[in-house]
Chain A
Amino acid sequence: MESLDFLVNVISLANLGAMFLGIIVGLIVGAIPGLGPPMAIALMIPISFEWPPETALILMVATYAAGIYGGSFTAILLRAPGTSASAASSIEGYEMTKRGRAIEAIRMSTFASVMGGIISGFVLLWLAPPLATVSLLFGPSEYFVVALLGLTAIAAVSFGAVLRGLIAGLFGLFVSTIGIDAATAFPRFTYGMTGLMSGVGILPAVIGLFAFAQALTLCEGSPKSNISGVSKLSWNIWPRVSEIIHCRWSLFRGWITGLIMGIVPAAGGSVAQWIAYSWEIQRGKPGDKFGEGEVKGLAATEGSNNGVTGTSLIPMFVLGIPGGISAAVILGALMIHGLQPGDRLFRDSPEVIYTVIWGFILANFMMGGIAAALARTMAYVTLFPRGLLAPIIMIFCVVGTFTASGNPWDVWIMVAFGVIGYLAQKYNFSPAGILLGIILGPIAEGGLRNVLILSDDSPLSFIFARWISVAIIIMIAIAIYYSLKPKKWETKADTKTLEE
């Protein structure tokens, strides 16, 4: 194996140091709502400008992997996801924290993320060129049906209140249409406000719907009490074999979802986690408690969002097409160091690209160790009084949102979504549904519009003529079937949570 020869290149002080730095920065920046991996990677570019290309790129990919994982810390501990790719983890993760199982949640999250990243790294190492050609098969028709597949997750994450969940999702779709229309350049629902011209960003929406709304929820309880209801934290920071066996199929489904969604341009971890989560809910067994701190749900979401990390780099490395913002920033770094993405990268500079990919795989191992060491320290935040946590979270929401874009309007959008998220949660209109609508709206609308143009207003014949679209439509049909079918684990929840 040619690629194996380059493994030894990674084991140098400079590369391991870059990896360590990237992981620390990624974990910290990823954990702060609003900042996230693209900003962390961008921060690393000027630092690594003079470094050898492989060392600089190892720094970038380590920051990327750790940034995605870092977002899960705050999602699990505070219900304040650091990145949109961790939003689904806040559902089961935070419920586990509330029940005094924060450390258990973090260790499962660490295992799922680390293994997801490693598997994804090996797929990147061995299957990059063939998978890159698969990603080229995705056109407007596929984007549209992938968005529809994502929307089926709304029914799953509504926990019994399906009608309210669907309304929330449609509200999200509507919100995604605010701003200047990309095709006609016509402003939609902006009411003359310049700040709305560029639309509602996913970042302010996710921070508002989850983190800011959570801060308002924290104000409800006793200000002296803490989130977890416990006064001591467990020392069991390493995942147990029994837990891994218990969640083996959930982990597998999460990783598979992440690997596949990684090669779909524009989808990434933000969509993968919801598909993995809804798949998990549909496969739930009697005794599972989704929505009440089910570790299987967390394993699936965490496995999927880090399963994306390696495969999302495939279109960028092989074709020069970045699948997301983080990949685009890494592409920029690649070109700054005089490397051209594409086949030639693998042919002309194998020592660089294979060293970087091995660096990515090893960075995931190192991340597991560092994250496990940090887990208990980070979990101390759950012992803070609610009365202190609420204002701290709000301040971080504001500073994170503003730092990410430098746009005061985003702060107002974030606060507005905080209020919407708080009310939605209180009255059982799923905030997750709203977020899904906002994430998937532009993908669905753009895809549908292009399909209409390409098919001369006969979309069905166009969509059904493409085998990938047909395969995804079959998956949608299966997802809808399982959404409507009474779930084995839901028998108890039916009587408890239905408010409709």
Chain B
Amino acid sequence: MSKLAAERLVAVCLIIVAAILYTQSTGLPQRAGSFPQFAEISVALLAALIFARTFLESNKKKLEGNVYFEFTYKAWKPVAVMVTSIVYCFAIFKLGFYVSSVVFFFIAAYLTGLRNHKYIFLTAIILFPLVYLFFSIALDAYLPEGILF
């Protein structure tokens, strides 16, 4: 896809999202709906401006070339860690904070591509007792416990 087309697509998507939210906010009482409506209309207008600007010659030059999507693991690493972090957030409430965090730490470090096991273990051995001492002992903070710990 060309950068020009991508720019137009982003603008159109923003206008559609703003329009959907605007229709939802019309059902709100007058005083409750006016502020979100102001934000939605403004987003739509600015997105329309971005769309219109893509027809200007000066902007066409800036948006020459194509948008490339990389499908290598390196490019998708953040997505893999992001998905793992979502699973981790579920797990802390089901299994418990500490168990989930230890497991997440090793998996996430591995997913980033780090293979220095000594370094990872050493960090975990120092990190988690410190987290426990600080949050559970010093702050006496309530942390999710789940079925484990």
> What residues on B are CB-neighbors of A403 within 8 Å?
135, 139, 141-143
Q: A171 vs B42: C-alpha distance in the bound complex, in angstroms?
A: 10
B112 pairs with A399, CB closer than 8 A: no
Q: A444 vs B35: C-alpha distance in the bound complex, in angstroms?
A: 9
Q: With A177-B36, A392-B123, A398-B92 in contact, do A408 and B144 touch (Cβ < 8 Å)?
A: yes
Across the interface, B32 reaches (CB within 8 A) one of A173, A181, A218, A220, namely A181
Q: A313 vs B40: C-alpha distance in the bound complex, in angstroms?
A: 37
A220 pairs with B77, CB closer than 8 A: yes
CB proximity to B under 8 Å, residues A358-406: 385-388, 390-392, 394-395, 398-399, 402-403, 406
Q: A412 vs B86: C-alpha distance in the bound complex, in angstroms?
A: 8
Q: Does A157 contact B (CB under 8 A)?
A: no
Q: A403 vs B142: C-alpha distance in the bound complex, in angstroms?
A: 7
B114 pairs with A387, CB closer than 8 A: yes
> What residues on B are CB-neighbors of A415 within 8 Å?
85-86, 89
Stretch in A103-111, A162-170, A327-335, A471-479 touching the partner: A162-170
Stretch in A182-190, A261-269, A344-352 touching the partner: A182-190
A385 pairs with B119, CB closer than 8 A: yes
Q: A415 vs B88: C-alpha distance in the bound complex, in angstroms?
A: 11
Q: With A167-B47, A216-B82, A219-B81 in contact, do A406 and B29 touch (Cβ < 8 Å)?
A: no
A448 pairs with B50, CB closer than 8 A: no
Chain B 122-144, CB within 8 Å of chain A: the 1/0 string?
A: 01000100010011000101111
Across the interface, B112 reaches (CB within 8 A) one of A166, A181, A387, A445, namely A387
The chain A residue with its CB closest to the CB of B17 is A171
Chain B 57-101, CB within 8 Å of chain A: the 1/0 string?
A: 001001000000000000001100110011011001100010001
> What residues on B are CB-neighbors of A171 within 8 Å?
39, 43
Q: Shortest CB–CB separation between residue A291 and chain B, in angstroms?
A: 19
A189 pairs with B36, CB closer than 8 A: yes
Chain B 31-53, CB within 8 Å of chain A: the 1/0 string?
A: 11101101110110011011001
Q: Does A217 contact B (CB under 8 A)?
A: yes
Instruction: Decide if the interface of chain B is mainly helix, strand, loop or mixed.
Output: helix
Q: Does A498 contact B (CB under 8 A)?
A: yes
Q: Shortest CB–CB separation between residue A212 and chain B, in angstroms?
A: 8
A173 pairs with B35, CB closer than 8 A: yes
Most buried by B among A394, A445, A499: A394
A388 pairs with B24, CB closer than 8 A: no
Across the interface, A183 reaches (CB within 8 A) one of B32, B39, B114, namely B32
Q: Does A486 contact B (CB under 8 A)?
A: no
Q: Does A411 contact B (CB under 8 A)?
A: yes
A391 pairs with B104, CB closer than 8 A: yes
Most buried by A among B39, B81, B93, B116: B39
CB proximity to B under 8 Å, residues A105-126: none
A170 pairs with B42, CB closer than 8 A: yes
Across the interface, B35 reaches (CB within 8 A) one of A222, A408, A445, namely A445
Q: Does A229 contact B (CB under 8 A)?
A: no
Q: Does A422 contact B (CB under 8 A)?
A: yes
Q: Does B109 contact A (CB under 8 A)?
A: yes
Q: Shortest CB–CB separation between residue B73 and chain A, in angstroms?
A: 11
Q: With A183-B31, A388-B114, A415-B85 in contact, do A402 and B119 touch (Cβ < 8 Å)?
A: no
Instruction: Decide if the interface of chain A is mainly helix, strand, loop or mixed.
Output: helix
Q: A386 vs B40: C-alpha distance in the bound complex, in angstroms?
A: 38
Q: With A174-B40, A188-B25, A390-B81 in contact, do A500 and B50 touch (Cβ < 8 Å)?
A: yes
Across the interface, A391 reaches (CB within 8 A) one of B25, B49, B109, B141, namely B109
> What residues on B are CB-neighbors of A137 within 8 Å?
none
Q: Does A43 contact B (CB under 8 A)?
A: yes
B39 pairs with A174, CB closer than 8 A: yes
Q: Shortest CB–CB separation between residue A15 and chain B, in angstroms?
A: 23
Q: A4 vs B112: C-alpha distance in the bound complex, in angstroms?
A: 58
Q: With A174-B43, A188-B25, A387-B112 in contact, do A419 and B88 touch (Cβ < 8 Å)?
A: no
Q: Shortest CB–CB separation between residue B81 and chain A, in angstroms?
A: 5
> What residues on B are CB-neighbors of A52 within 8 Å?
none
B31 pairs with A395, CB closer than 8 A: no
> What residues on A are CB-neighbors of B112 within 8 Å?
218-219, 223, 386-387, 390-391
Q: Shortest CB–CB separation between residue A45 and chain B, in angstroms?
A: 13
> What residues on B are CB-neighbors of A219 within 8 Å?
77-78, 81, 111-112
> What residues on B are CB-neighbors of A485 within 8 Å?
none
> What residues on A are CB-neighbors of B77 within 8 Å?
219-220
B21 pairs with A174, CB closer than 8 A: yes
Chain A 465-500, CB within 8 Å of chain B: the 1/0 string?
A: 000000000000000000000000000000000111
Q: Does A232 contact B (CB under 8 A)?
A: no
A399 pairs with B135, CB closer than 8 A: yes
A394 pairs with B85, CB closer than 8 A: yes
Across the interface, B59 reaches (CB within 8 A) one of A166, A183, A500, namely A500
A186 pairs with B29, CB closer than 8 A: yes
Across the interface, A395 reaches (CB within 8 A) one of B39, B82, B105, namely B105
Q: A499 vs B29: C-alpha distance in the bound complex, in angstroms?
A: 39
Q: Shortest CB–CB separation between residue B14 and chain A, in angstroms?
A: 7
Q: Does A449 contact B (CB under 8 A)?
A: yes
> What residues on A are CB-neighbors of B89 within 8 Å?
398, 411-412, 415
> What residues on B are CB-neighbors of A445 within 8 Å?
35
B104 pairs with A406, CB closer than 8 A: no
Q: A80 vs B102: C-alpha distance in the bound complex, in angstroms?
A: 21
B109 pairs with A388, CB closer than 8 A: yes
Q: Can you give 26 contacting A-B residue pairs, CB < 8 Å? A: A163-B46, A166-B46, A174-B36, A174-B39, A184-B29, A186-B32, A189-B25, A189-B36, A217-B78, A219-B78, A219-B111, A223-B114, A385-B114, A386-B112, A387-B112, A387-B114, A390-B112, A391-B109, A392-B123, A402-B143, A415-B89, A418-B82, A418-B85, A419-B82, A422-B78, A427-B10
